[in-house]
Chain A
């Protein structure tokens, strides 16, 4: 009897591997976990996109739950994402900070005036240094930052209704509740 059971071991191994490999089929290898989740926004001092005299720093972003959105005029997926960001901006759920990544200032400003500007403020990251510190590997990427300036989640790819409803918005509500409990605005 014992020998009979031993004969089943290969089948069991096969089934276990099958389950793992089957699950693997639905993983998206492009969707990497950010190494910065749980860490503060990297220190930066950059010009505002529209006004070179105004300096935005990592301290400016603290205080409330916010979304950092890495975008550029050369990025087609950013154009796809743009109308949805406009919608979110109108709903006024949280400040959306733009990081204009490796872009030309004049082109970026023109694009925003033509298509609309969903951003609370736009950080001009011309040489991509902030992007590098954030671990950006392609635009668009969005970072959810809590009221203490800690990065809580990174989403690589364009935000659409599905991502927003299923992933981002529930997290934002949770973070905003936490912020409220801790007495931040």
Chain B
């Protein structure tokens, strides 16, 4: 029991450490205000590094990510809106940099695909269950021939 408590504490502790590490990126950039900092960090979290593709701008330490991160910070401090900053990034690096793709014709399948699949699943499930019920409800009639065979089988077990 004691080891279990220790184990859980260790896990919780490591999580809190991860949280702390995420909140303070390595750069020494001075934001004009705390609000700006919050908004800039959120934006940088939602943008993907073009070079090391499975990291966002905050996680990655590649030169490109550093540049882009700084660019985001400066644009936020210059009072630019989120849309403007995202437009700046996508016009240079493509839709690819958005972790959250835009809702538009070519991304409908991404956004709506899961819902469509869920609906299909529900419909199939519904039909399946209903058919089972119907087939259970109908009384099965068996012919005299089948009855005879059944009796024979049952009798065989008795022996």
| Residues in A lying within 8 Å of B, measured CB to CB | 29-30, 32-36, 102, 128, 132-138
27 contacts between A and B (CB under 8 A): A29-B53, A30-B53, A32-B50, A32-B94, A32-B96, A34-B94, A35-B90, A35-B91, A35-B93, A35-B95, A36-B91, A36-B92, A102-B63, A132-B68, A133-B92, A134-B92, A135-B50, A135-B92, A135-B93, A135-B94, A136-B64, A137-B50, A137-B64, A137-B93, A138-B51, A138-B62, A138-B64
CA distance A11 to B50 in the complex (A): 37
- A contact patch SS: loop
Closest residue of A by beta carbon distance from B68: A132
Pick the contact of B94: A33, A132, A136 (CB < 8 A): A33
Q: Does more than half of chain B's interface fall in helix, strand or loop, or is it mixed?
A: helix
Q: Which of A33, A35, A137 contacts B51 (CB 8 A)?
A: A137
Q: Which residues of B contact A133 (CB under 8 A)?
A: 92
Closest to B50 in A: A137
Return the chain B residue nearest A133 by Cβ. Answer: B92
Residues from chain B with Cβ under 8 Å of A138 in the complex: 51, 62, 64
Q: How far is the CA of A135 from the CA of B92 in the complex (A)?
A: 5
